């Protein structure tokens, strides 16, 4: 019987699969004291976004697998895991559709002024219809940064659903689907796009990829959507651009830091929508991700090859 530490809340289906396999499950509910105490003799850790640096993993003497609930593994010290024979798994595709739908929703909600107009309807009444007009997205240009699992879904939603022209910047792909244009320079995408949506990994190369200079290249009418990772955008520069009308709006499911400080201008700016890393929190994705994350643990502990192994 193995001990599994679950650092953050997950859909119950995963823990059920773990206990059905004869394992003991311990919940930390984001409490770092509990994590530090329970990881010491844990055989497996099921983690969402809590940071697992090598210094913490090194205290886990029985650790055989870190199972990421999701796909963004930047919170796990992969070098430590590689060096110490700890498997690391992700749950590819399990939440991609939900994240793409969230990005799509942020884009349209901003474009149509849904939040300010519905608020004004309650306060000023029908005159809210005189709010500044929204934007029609059909035929506009989507700038997609990172055409992986999530990027491909949003590409289809925008190209086939809204007849948008899609331009892609991703230096690591070999081809793009028919009807989609690939650009070699990020600056070209930023200059041309009406909406820029981020779906790349957070790496040393993509940290602050969207900085002050690059924000300045975007159209003042453009929207920026980030459902990837907060540090990909220089948040101070983004706030400045939004405050100065250098950018029309931003839809952010991820921020830097996370959570957003209660005093952050992001909560005050009328042209910003922030959600708390909520994109994959749909019934369907939560179930699939929890299930696959648990199956990965059960596989490794049974000496089998897990589906989502990255280390
Ligand atoms: N909001 C959320 O809760 C949530 C949920 C799931 C995933 N994510 C984020 O979304 C990211 C993408 O997920 P995915 O499943 O599509 O991953 P993926 O690995 O399938 O795709 C990532 C893409 O980014 C590209 N890329 C890498 N470096 C790049 C660069 N410098 N410039 C442009 N593109 C680059 C890769 O070539 C790849 O095509 C994850 O890394 C994660 O950070 C967020």
Tens digits of residue pLDDT in 180-189: 999 999 999 9
Give whole-number Cα distances, 9 to 47, 136, 141, 217, in Å.
9, 39, 38, 40
Residues 6 or more apart in contact with residue 259 via CB below 8 angstroms: 276
Cβ 70 under 6 angstroms from ligand 1: yes
What pLDDT is attached to residue 1? 87
DSSP string, 31-57: -HHHHHHHGGG-SEEEESSS-B-HHHH
Residue 150 burial (CB < 10 Å; 0-12/13-18/19+)? buried
| Mean pLDDT, the chain, whole residue set | 97
Q: Is 258 helix (H, G, I), strand (E, B) or coil?
A: coil
Please indicate whether residue 206, judged by its CB atom, sits closer than 6 Å to ligand 1: yes
Whether residue 133 is found in the same domain as residue 249 = yes
Per-residue confidence band for 135, with pLDDT thresholds at 50, 70 and 90: very high
- When pLDDT is averaged across residues 118-123 and rounded to a whole number, the result is 97
Q: Which of 235, 277, 291, 295 is catalytic?
A: 277
Confidence of residue 7 (pLDDT cuts 50, 70, 90): very high
The answer to whether the CB of 285 is under 6 A from ligand 1 is: no
- Given a contact cutoff of 8 angstroms between Cβ atoms, the answer to whether 253 and 154 are in contact is no
Q: Is residue 230 situated within a structural domain? A: yes
38, 142: one domain: no
Could you tell me which residues come within 8 angstroms of residue 252 by beta carbon, excluding any fewer than 6 positions away? 106, 225, 226, 230, 233, 266, 272, 273, 274, 275
> What is the percent of the chain with per-residue pLDDT over 70, rounded to a whole number?
100
Q: Domain span at residue 86?
A: 3-92+283-301
Same domain, 144 and 261: yes
Q: Give yes or no: residues 113 and 52 share one domain.
A: no
| Cis status of the peptide bond prior to 161, with omega within 30 of 0 | no
Q: Over 90: is that where the pLDDT of 265 sits? A: yes
Instruction: Examine the pLDDT at 281 and tell me if it is beyond 90.
Output: yes
Task: Give the C-alpha separation, 139 to 247, whole Å.
Answer: 20
Indicate the DSSP class of residue 157. Answer: I
**181: CA distance to ligand 1 center in Å?**
19
Are the C-beta atoms of 100 and 125 separated by less than 8 Å? no
- The total of structural domains in the chain comes to 2
Which spans in the chain are helix H?
13-20, 32-38, 54-57, 78-83, 96-111, 114-124, 149-156, 162, 186-192, 212-217, 235-243, 283-301
Catalytic residue status for 175: no
Please give the Cα distance from 159 to 151 (Å, whole number): 12
Q: What is the average pLDDT across 226-249?
A: 98
209 Cα nearest atom in ligand 1: 31
Q: Does the pLDDT at position 177 exceed 90?
A: yes
Task: Report yes or no: 1 and 21 within 8 Å, Cβ to Cβ.
Answer: no
Band (pLDDT 50/70/90 cuts) for residue 306 is very high
Say if ligand 1 is within 6 A of residue 71 CB.
yes
Which amino acid residue places its CA nearest to atom 33 of ligand 1?
A: 170
Do 251 and 146 fall into the same domain?
Answer: yes
Sign of CA dihedral 300, 201, 143, 251: positive
Question: Are 163 and 259 in a shared domain?
Answer: yes
Would you call 258 a catalytic residue per the annotation?
yes
For the Cβ of 143 lying below 6 angstroms from any atom of ligand 1, the answer is no
Same domain, 184 and 105: yes
């Amino acid at each position: 019987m193995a001990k599994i530490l679950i650092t953050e809340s997950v859909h119950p289906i995963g823990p059920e699969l773990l206990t059905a396999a004869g394992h003991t499950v311990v919940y930390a509910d984001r409490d770092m004291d509990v994590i530090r105490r329970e990881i010491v003799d844990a055989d497996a850790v099921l983690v969402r976004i809590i940071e697992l640096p090598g210094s913490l993993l090194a205290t886990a003497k029985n650790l055989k697998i870190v199972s990421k609930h999701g796909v963004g593994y930047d919170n796990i010290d992969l070098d430590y895991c590689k060096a110490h024979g700890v498997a690391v798994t992700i749950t590819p595709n399990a939440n991609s559709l939900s994240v793409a739908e969230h990005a799509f929703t942020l884009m349209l909600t901003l474009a149509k002024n849904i939040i300010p107009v519905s608020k004004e309807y309650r306060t000023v009444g029908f005159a809210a219809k005189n709010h500044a007009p929204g934007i029609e997205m059909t035929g506009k240009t989507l700038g997609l940064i990172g055409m992986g699992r999530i990027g491909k879904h949003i590409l289809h939603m925008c190209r086939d659903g809204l007849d948008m022209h899609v331009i892609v910047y991703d230096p690591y792909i070999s081809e793009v689907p028919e009807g989609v244009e690939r650009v070699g320079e990020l600056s070209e995408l930023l200059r041309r796009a009406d909406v820029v949506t981020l779906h790349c990994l957070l790496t040393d190369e993509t940290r602050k990829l969207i900085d002050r200079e690059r924000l300045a290249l975007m159209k003042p009418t453009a929207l920026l959507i980030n459902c990837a990772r907060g540090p990909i955008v220089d948040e101070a520069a983004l706030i400045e651009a939004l405050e100065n009308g250098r950018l029309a709006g931003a839809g952010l499911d991820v921020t830097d830091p996370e959570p957003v400080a209660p005093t952050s201008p992001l909560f005050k700016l009328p042209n910003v929508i922030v959600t708390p890393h909520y994109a994959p929190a749909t019934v369907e994705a939560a179930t699939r991700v929890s299930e696959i994350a648990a199956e990965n643990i059960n596989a490794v502990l049974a000496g089998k090859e897990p589906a989502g192994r990255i280390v």
